[in-house]
Amino acid sequence: MHVHGPRGGPCGDRTPRGGGPGRGRPHPHPLLRGRGPGHHRRGGGRVRPGSPEGGDGHDPGGHHRGRRRRRPHRPPVGGHERGDGPLGLRERRVPLPHPGRGAEEAGRPQAPGCPHPPHPGDHGPGAGLPPALLRRAVHRLVLVGGGHAHLAVLASLVESPRPPGEVVLVSEDRHHWYSGRVPAHLRGELEPRELQFDLAALARAAGVEFVEARAAAICRAPGSGYLVHLEGEPDDPLRAAALSLDVGSVPRGARLPGVAEHALAVRPMARARELRERLDTVTRDRPRDTEVPAVVVGGGAAGVEVALALHARITELGRSPAVRILEAGPHILPGWRPKARRRAMDILRRRGVEVETGIRVVEVEPHAVVVERDVGGLQSAPRAGPVREPGLLAVWLTGAAPPPLLAASELPLDDDGYLEVDTTLRATDGAPVWGGGDCISVAGHPPLPKAGVQPVRQGPVLAANLRAHLEGAGDADDGSGKAGEAGGAESDGASAGKAGSRGAPPRHFEPDPTFLALLDTSDGRALLRWRGLCLHTRWARWLKDRIDGRFVERYRSLES
């Protein structure tokens, strides 16, 4: 079933109101304002602290085998050089009300979606712009989110001849945070800069405009194209002829009472830094002869890794760890074979990490969690409880849920709320919308595991198909700037695969749920799982570090 954003919902309000960007408005077009190098600030705000140079990434399955050669930077069509984009977009920054934490996570009301649609006479993504800029605006591709697949798209733009059209990257964080190294960061072995890629620098190298802002809703523009509404800027949407989404996922149950206020998280990954700081503060504040009770909610791969890392860090700081994993399901590591699961349980038991299954955390308090237990091993109501259990730290690592941006937008979604794409990674309704990573599902295929390896595999396919779209759109342009207006959103990107266009035929992604899993067990070893094989060795850790290191090197070498 395809579910579009509700008509009466965020994107359904089409009543014209004043203040929208439109033809004949007294103020300049919003995209022409705020020029200048560095981060653009519309409405002030402080750039969050972070290292000027970016950091790390990983290739969990070792699937990224792109070229290492770096080609000289080519400015995008239109010829502007870095720093001062003619559309005034380059490295624009829209301040977030709560840095590093989604509005949805914090339990705040969602952004209003499309509250200020464009002026009725304003058609298409470039309307209101001078002809020279119009041509670029109607071909603008907006990449929403700086996830793994979009790293590959940026790399492709750095390494191969730049296709026509303008590309903009919108990311709520200036950095891509690399999850594979979160355990090492929590143990105190790696600093934040060693977990980050500098998206702004990568975008600059790729000739891509960078906008640091959270996308709150994506709505269809009248005529064709899309309006990307940025949080905190409801009157000033970003216009797009085509879109690609790689916005990851959010933890399930993040709206339960107290979770936003008291639980720690690593999604978005930027919050790993906050977790590390709290962990160190709480641990150091405890007297040496007392325990540090920490609760990890969720027994997936991330929960197991983080629990072991917390245990190692608390021990390292000379305190006594009392780390527990609370898992709602009947066992940890869902989707893993029993043999591998037993191996993981054995590692946890030997380390002294307690695991309880069939237990649901229903509320988080400042120093405790409120839980209910399944009765007789049955995962159904009624459950025993609620009971309050101690936890100086509660880390929320439940499974993945779709980012609320999707429900707030006019996009084709599957029954679970993920962007539904076909094997070309294009939206199943044929709109010029693509996607990759945790936020998509591939129609006709079982859901893929939410792991970084999937967007790493999708990256080259996405890059090729977006490139073909841009090249096809460039061909379709007769110089009048009307290409994007021709046939509405559905036909807008269809030229990518049409006969006679320079755009290549679309490439296909082959969904494969199997992948090499390498869990950092925080003891110098890693737990390797590959089909029926399961090893817990130093060699597995060496392999993980090597795969991670290669991924890091690849993207670091592209940052300008």
Give residues 59-78 in contact with ligand FAD (rule: CB under 6 A). Answer: 60
Biggest CA–CA distance in the chain, Å, is 76
C-beta of 439 vs 473, nearer to ligand FAD: 439
Query: Containing H/E element for 386?
Result: strand 384-390
Task: Report the nearest approach of ligand FAD to the CB of residue 266 (Å).
Answer: 5
Calculate ∠ Cα 511-514-518, nearest 5°: 130
Look at residue 552 and give its three-state secondary structure: helix
C-beta of 397 vs 494, nearer to ligand FAD: 397
CA distance 200 to 243: 19
Task: Determine phi and psi for 293, rounding to 5 degrees.
Answer: -80, 125
CA distance 349 to 398: 21
Binding string, 386-405, against ligand FAD, x = CB under 6 A?
Answer: -----------------x-x
- Give the torsion sign (CA, 402, 456, 145, 2): negative
Beta bridge partners of 354: 324
Task: Report the nearest approach of ligand FAD to the CB of residue 245 (Å).
Answer: 9
CA distance 440 to 450: 10
Q: Does 295 bind ligand FAD (CB under 6 A)?
A: no
Span of 4-12, 155-163, 240-248, 282-290 interacting with ligand FAD by CB under 6 A: 240-248
Tokens of 234: 């409801």
Tokens of 15: 């009543």
Residue with tokens 């609320």, as numbered in its chain: 404
Span of 242-250, 377-385, 408-416, 551-559 interacting with ligand FAD by CB under 6 A: 242-250
Residue with tokens 């859901």, as numbered in its chain: 447
CA distance 464 to 455: 14
Binding string, 423-442, against ligand FAD, x = CB under 6 A?
Answer: --------------xxx---
Q: Which of 472, 457, 459, 438 is nearest to 159 (CA)?
A: 459
Give residues 454-473 in contact with ligand FAD (rule: CB under 6 A). Answer: 455
Task: Report the nearest approach of ligand FAD to the CB of residue 59 (Å).
Answer: 9
Q: Does 408 bind ligand FAD (CB under 6 A)?
A: no
| Residue of 10, 128, 268, 481 interacting with ligand FAD (CB under 6 A) | 268
C-beta of 179 vs 244, nearer to ligand FAD: 179
Q: Could you tell me the CA-to-CA distances from 398 to 103, 224, 300 in Å, in that order?
A: 18, 38, 7
Q: Does 495 bind ligand FAD (CB under 6 A)?
A: no
Span of 245-253, 320-328, 374-382, 422-430 interacting with ligand FAD by CB under 6 A: 245-253
CA distance 125 to 293: 54
- Give the torsion sign (CA, 202, 164, 244, 138): positive
Task: Report the nearest approach of ligand FAD to the CB of residue 331 (Å).
Answer: 19
Task: Report the nearest approach of ligand FAD to the CB of residue 368 (Å).
Answer: 23
Contacts with ligand FAD: how many residues (CB under 6 A)?
36
Calculate ∠ Cα 474-478-480, nearest 5°: 110
CB 175 within 8 A of CB 272: no
Q: Does 229 bind ligand FAD (CB under 6 A)?
A: no
Q: Does 297 bind ligand FAD (CB under 6 A)?
A: no
C-beta of 133 vs 308, nearer to ligand FAD: 308
Task: Report the nearest approach of ligand FAD to the CB of residue 240 (Å).
Answer: 13
| H helical segments located in 387-487 | 404-407, 453-476
| Residue of 87, 103, 142, 144 interacting with ligand FAD (CB under 6 A) | 144
Q: Does 453 bind ligand FAD (CB under 6 A)?
A: yes
CB 111 within 8 A of CB 235: no
Q: Does 247 bind ligand FAD (CB under 6 A)?
A: yes
C-beta of 322 vs 395, nearer to ligand FAD: 395
Q: Which of 183, 217, 461 is nearest to 312 (CA)?
A: 183
Binding string, 158-187, against ligand FAD, x = CB under 6 A?
Answer: ------------xxxx--x--xx-x-----
| Residue of 42, 139, 148, 220 interacting with ligand FAD (CB under 6 A) | 148
Binding interface with ligand FAD (CB under 6 A): 60, 144-149, 170-173, 176, 179-180, 182, 214-215, 246-248, 266-268, 302, 305-306, 403, 405, 437-439, 450-453, 455
